[in-house]
Each structure stands twice: as structure tokens, then as C-alpha cells.
Amino acid sequence: MTENNKVIDKSRRAPKRDVDGVFLLDKDATLSSALALTKVRGIYRANKGGHTGSLDPLASGLLPICLGQAAKFSSFFLEGSKKYVATGKLGIVTASGDADGEIVERHEVTDEVSHVEEAIEKFTGKIIQVPPVYSAIKVNGRPLYKYARKGQEVEVPKREVEIFYIKLLDKTSDSFTVEVYCSKGTYIRTLIADIGSELGCGAYVTMLRRIEVDGLPKGVMHTLDELQTMADSREDYTDFTKMDKLLIPIDEALNYLPRINIPYDMAVALCQGQRQSDLGRCTFENCNIDFEGTMQIRTDSLFIGVGHIQKGVLISDRMMSDPLRTNKGLYK
């Protein structure tokens, strides 16, 4: 369809709208997380949007894009353990741990790759990592990469992470590819660099792909090209029916959390900002009144938000916007 000999972008002609849900994007390695969010939000014509934390600039794979009210809960969608596939290049150490960084060391590679299986076994279980200086971890309120770009030295905080397994998928004379299943907060660039250090020749990441996040549907990702093709193929540019079916509902994306079911009158009060202490009237799934972590809150099977219990009192952390009125018509 053309107008004045110019191609019309159908998605841009549609008015912006309120749409809630999580789009599981298969991010291309050439695309930044911020630009990916902008493009997905634009195709959906969503009024609001956010992502769940950046993938490394050169990384590909699963990036949940949160539209509408899902953006409120974005910090919870990547709480689960994660799986990655990564390739390490032996003999070179870079400042950032990937191909984007300045080369700081070069070493001759001989037969080190023959010892990869032995080396990776040393990094399973709970380990201590020192994240790369080119990372978003904040020190004194500033991301580490801002210090690094200015050449400023700062003490990088160590962190304990857990590597549930590392599978060797492939190896060449100077590289190796692994699948890693790890806890939240693990830096794969650091892991590959540490394996290279263990081998004595150094290593850096040449390919990194996130393939799964516990709690989110597995094997369900869509590329930006797929989404754009779906948008362009619509006869009615205001019809988002098929595209909206790709969105994961907020409650489904958070269903991995333990659950507290509260009576309707308590839900009304909680939605109005009142903490609730009469938890003997509530029921629990995969947790109890002494549970200290984040839990999903429901009433009559309706998801209304997430919260936590502190000294026997239920406190809301994030709530859907007026969920009871939206879903029931009026408060009871």
C-alpha cells in the first residue's frame, strides 16, 4: 500500500492503545535491548512498555518485553534460573570479556582445549564471581561501565552464584561451546574468562545466547522480523488480534511464584493500600505464613499483584491497576 509513492507502515497508522502482557523476543545480537523495546512497543502501538534488564549488547536470545501493566512487574520476570549457550575463544583476554572489548592479553594456544572438560567441572556448584568492569552493576549509585569508560578504578563487588551444570557442546583447536544452567546474577562472560584462566591461556566470549528462563514458557520466542511480518500482513491495521495472542498474560508469567489466596474483603483493603494481618483466613500454595520471599497474591483465582509477609503482615509490593473493579465491574 502506498501514498505519494511512499510505503505506509500500517502499525504506525494505528492509534496507541493500552495492552498488557509479556512478549518473548528472540533478540538479534545486532540489536540493543533498548532499541528492541522501542521497536516491539511501536509495532504493538503500546502506550507503555519496558524490558526486564538488558542482555549484553552482543548477546542474542530471550528478552521479555513488558507491555502495559506488565512493565510494573518487569523486575520479577527474570527472577528464575537461566540457561545460556556460549562460545569461548581461547588465547585472548579482553577488558569486557567479549568481542567488544579491548584486547589486554594474548597467549599461545597449544593443547589447552583438550582439558576443557576437566576445567569446567571446577565451576559447577556455588562459586564466587567478580563481575566484569563493563557491566551494569552499580557501585556508589553508578554502573561499573561508566567508571570503566572513564578509566577510573573502583573495587568490583564479588558475588556468590550457582552453576547447576555446564555441558560441553562442541570444541575446536582454539574454542569451546557450552550450555550453562545457572542462578540469577551469573555473568557468563566472567565464567568463560575464568575457564580460560583455569586453562592458562585466557578466553573471551564470541557468542552468547540466552535460551531459557525458569518460570517463563520454554521454547516460545519470536523474532522482531516475525512480529513485523505479522503486523504488515494484516488487512486491517487496527486489528491486533493475532499479535496479542503472542503475549503471555501477566499472571501466567508470574505463576512460578508461591501463592497466597486472600478473601475478597481483604483484597479490597489491600488494593487500597492497607496492610493485612488476618492471615489465618488465607490459604497458601508452595509457601506458608513464615515465607520471607516474594509471592503472588490472588483472590477468587484472580491475580491482583505480588507482595511479601513481614512479621505476620501481608504487604503489597506491586499491584495491578484497580484489578477488582476492572474484573468485577464494581467492588462488592
Write out the H or E segment, with its range, that includes residue 144. helix 144-149
Residues 204 and 136 occupy one common structural domain: yes
Give the integer Cα–Cα distance in Å for 3 and 237.
15
- Coil/strand/helix, residue 223: coil
Do residues 126 and 275 share a domain? Answer: no
Q: Are residues 171 and 98 in the same domain?
A: yes
The pLDDT of residue 51 is 80
Q: 83 with 181: CB under 8 angstroms?
A: yes
The reported pTM is 0.85
Same domain, 200 and 88: yes
Calpha distance 177→170 (Å, rounded): 5
Domains contained in the chain, number = 3
Instruction: Tell me the pLDDT of the chain (332 aa) as tens digits.
Output: 444 444 445 555 789 999 999 999 999 998 888 899 999 999 999 999 988 777 877 899 999 999 999 999 988 888 889 999 999 999 999 988 888 888 999 999 999 999 999 999 999 999 999 876 655 566 655 655 665 565 656 666 788 999 999 999 999 999 999 999 999 989 999 999 999 999 999 999 999 999 999 988 888 899 999 999 999 999 898 999 999 999 999 999 999 999 999 999 999 999 999 999 999 999 999 999 999 899 999 999 899 999 999 999 999 999 998 888 655 443 33
**Strand segments (E) across 80-218:** 82-90, 92-94, 103-106, 125-129, 138-139, 142-143, 159-171, 175-182, 203-213
Distant-in-sequence contacts of 48-57, Cβ < 8 A, 24+ apart:
48/18, 50/74, 52/77, 52/78, 53/78, 54/136, 55/27, 55/210, 56/98, 56/189, 56/208, 57/32, 57/100
pLDDT score for 135: 56
- 313: CATH: 2.30.130.10
Is there a single domain that holds both residue 75 and residue 170? no
Q: Are residues 98 and 200 in the same domain?
A: yes
* Count of CA atoms in the C-beta half-sphere (13 A) of 110: 2
Q: Are 247 and 21 in contact (CB under 8 A)?
A: yes
**Domain residue limits at 278:** 257-328
pLDDT of residue 55: 82
CA atoms of 72 and 162, how far apart (whole Å): 28
Query: Is 162 in the same domain as 183?
Result: yes
User: Which DSSP string corresponds to 166-187?
Assistant: EEEEEE-SSEEEEEEEE-TT--
Last residue of a domain, one of 229, 251, 273: 251
How far, rounded to the nearest angstrom, does the alpha carbon of residue 110 sit from its chain's CA centroid? 38
Residue 36's pLDDT is what?
93
Asked if residue 111 and residue 36 are part of one domain, the reply reads: no
Angle at 122 between CA 116 and CA 123, to 5 degrees: 95
Q: Are both 277 and 193 inside the same structural domain?
A: no
Q: Which three cell numbers stand for residue 126?
A: 556455588
- Helices and strands of the chain, counted as H and E runs: 10, 19
pLDDT score recorded for residue 134: 59
Q: What are phi and psi of 57, to 5 degrees?
A: -50, -35
Query: Are both 106 and 206 inside the same structural domain?
Result: yes
* pLDDT value, residue 330: 37
- pLDDT value for 156: 66
Residues labelled catalytic: 56
What is the CATH classification number for the domain harbouring 190?
A: 3.30.2350.10
106 and 69 share a domain?
no
Domain boundary among 160, 187, 213: 213
Enumerate the β-bridge partners of residue 60.
209
Which three cell numbers mark 12?
504506525
Which of 225, 251, 277 delimits the end of a domain? 251
Nearest to 17 by CA among 247, 328, 329, 296: 247
Shared domain check, 116 and 164: yes
